[in-house]
A and B are shown apart, each in its own frame.
Chain A
Amino acid sequence: MKKRIYAAPNPVTPSRPLLFKEKKCSGCNVCVEICPMDIMIPHPIKGSPPIILFPDECWYCGLCVAHCPKQGALKLNWPLIQRVRWKRKKIGEHFRV
């Protein structure tokens, strides 16, 4: 099926400070309750991952990930302009976040 094109404003940046794994997330909303910036709201459908309503307000503290009871259900996703690099000392190969 052809993807439907909607009329929508530009998303704010960063649009995805957090990445949910839908299959792993139980929708318990512990992350919603811990967030110091209150950037998420519970999903209207119970059991679904929360909605990141204010991604532009994320402080990148990672407390949502630290308190998530399901390991791997939620990941912090640094904005692209924040990806720090490193170099393996012996071989000189470059890596990044």
Chain B
Amino acid sequence: MEKQLLRLTVNNEYHELYIKPKKLLVEVLRDELGLTGTKRGCNTGACCACTVLLNGVTAKSCSVLAVQADGAEVTTVEGLADGGKLSPLQRSFLDHGAYQCGFCTSGMLMSATALLNENKNPKKEQIKEAIHGNICRCTGYNSIIRAIKAVVEGRYKEEK
């Protein structure tokens, strides 16, 4: 299969790569760009461990061909912190113990980030709905919901 040119902006960095057209976005992020923060739990779009933002909207990177993302802007977990400044969600996840094994955490943070980008004041049910696709086998979700809620309530501001 002939390789194709892929132009991708990931976490504000522009990349040009030649890839096989069958390559998934998650494979390009992890294997080609070394951004292993994005995980892969099922490869069938059922666990959402691979969630990234594609042009600002959540996407399961195991269910997107990389070439479909040509020209797109991608944000991964590595792009959430600004240098040493963690995002409010990241800080809140820390304080609330909203991670255990950590394998779903990246996807969870991306889903939550997308929610708060879209809706600054989601109700608890909307928070649950936003992470409904993300499987977490460790925490039972409630600490994650509390962490997101704390950000919604303004207890974690952007660090200046």
- To the question of whether A and B form a pair in one complex, the answer is no
